[in-house]
A and B are shown apart, each in its own frame.
Chain A
Amino acid sequence: AQSVAQPEDQVNVAEGNPLTVKCTYSVSGNPYLFWYVQYPNRGLQFLLKYITGDNLVKGSYGFEAEFNKSQTSFHLKKPSALVSDSALYFCAVRGLMDSSYKLIFGSGTRLLVRP
């Protein structure tokens, strides 16, 4: 069965500092991995994805994520956090062979960037 773990309920960083939001996954075979962001009372916005190729993936709003197969991780990173990055972040996984294309989401990590 596929699963995603986001071990931190909340991450606090100061504006201008680098941020990392952690994600580990479990899936049979090769994974498709995704990061989404959600602002209050809004739907989810797609940030980036890993399908194959370069382990460092760049996405929207200056975010990037690093795929590590040996550690089954896909941590979200940003070199310099903005107050406007404060939101709820979700990691998601899909198995390569899953024909339903459904995504399994982690429990979410709330990012708080203080001025």
Chain B
Amino acid sequence: SQTIHQWPATLVQPVGSPLSLECTVEGTSNPNLYWYRQAAGRGLQLLFYSVGIGQISSEVPQNLSASRPQDRQFILSSKKLLLSDSGFYLCALSGHRNTGELFFGEGSRLTVL
């Protein structure tokens, strides 16, 4: 079965510091991968998605970036964090492309101070 691992689970970083959140998946090959951000425990905002290695689509202009160096690895990064980057970051994969429900990881909670 498909599993999604997100690391780290929680992170507290100062403003201006760099960021790297990692998402790795198992039990599937060539998945579509997604990064969502959830602010204040409410709505989800799609940040990036990837349909394959090295292929990244950005949904919202911001100081974050994403990379997909391997088929089952998706990384969210920032060179300099802002206070507004605080939130709950969720990685997801599309397991069945013809129906499209997404499977989510357990999330990484980022607090920027």
Contact = CB atoms under 8 A, between A and B. Distances in A.
Nearest to A48: B101
B101 A88 contact: no
A107 B97 CA distance: 24
A59 B109 CA distance: 29
Nearest to A106: B43
Given A49-B99, A100-B57, A102-B34, A42 B107 contact: yes
A94 B100 contact: yes
B104 A105 contact: no
A32 B99 CA distance: 8
A103 interface: yes
Interface residues of B, number: 28
Interface residues of A, number: 23
A61 to B, nearest CB: 16
A53 interface: no
A51 B88 CA distance: 29
A101 B32 contact: yes
Nearest to A45: B104
A46 B22 CA distance: 22
A27 interface: no
A32 B100 CA distance: 8
A43 B99 contact: no
A44 B43 contact: no
Most buried by A among B34, B90, B100: B100
Given A41-B109, A43-B90, A44-B90, A90 B99 contact: no
